[in-house]
Amino acid sequence: MTINKMTLIGQGRPYAQNQEVTMSSLDMVSYINSDRQSKATEEGLEFPCKKYRKLEHRSFMSKVTKVLGDAAAKYFATDTYVNGTGGKVKREIYNFPKREACLMAMSYSYELQAAIYDYMEELDRQRGGYLSHTISELQQIVTAARKHSDEDSSDAGRRLRKRQDDLPLLNKAEYLVESLGQLKLSFGKESGDDK
């Protein structure tokens, strides 16, 4: 069996440079259900079924204190969402740092723990780097760099040599920004309180 690869959505600022990388209990439940659905489909089963049950957020929440003990309290938070009638509703969630997210995932399977760990590691790497900008901002930066290089090369001679050095970097930057814009999170669908 294989765990679905978690990838990143190319929008917004997931984490500021000094902000700790976290994963919410809502995201974990959504990912677990997405993974279970994928496994059921691979085996030709309907989801949910007896073998692959749908995990409810409230069930996950009740497990948190069993796994993390008293330490769970410091990761407690509230989330506001719009319900089916348009009203704003608050619900209790947890925002786990990497270690605690991995502990919670391990309580379901080692395979899930590895996927969560890899996901959190990638977020951690990106926190201070290229994803501290939105995809749109990165596109603007690359476009401005290319424009500057184009204008600069018109001054012939020594600038032409610099332009030849700039082109591979600009092409690589454009490729990376385009690739980032195509990444997405495969956590599953969000729906009210049953996340």
Distance CA 101, CA 164 (A): 47
Distance CA 160, CA 58 (A): 63
Distance CA 157, CA 13 (A): 41
Instruction: Calculate the average pLDDT of the chain.
Output: 77
What pLDDT digit, counting tens, does each position of 139-175 carry? Answer: 777 777 777 666 655 556 656 666 666 777 777 777 7
Please state, for a pLDDT cut of 70, what percent of the chain lies above it.
63
Please give the average per-residue pLDDT across 118-122, as a whole number.
83
Give the full edge-to-edge strand order of the sheet including 76-82.
Answer: 22-24, 88-97, 76-82
What pLDDT digit, counting tens, does each position of 29-63 carry? Answer: 998 999 899 999 999 999 999 999 999 999 999 99
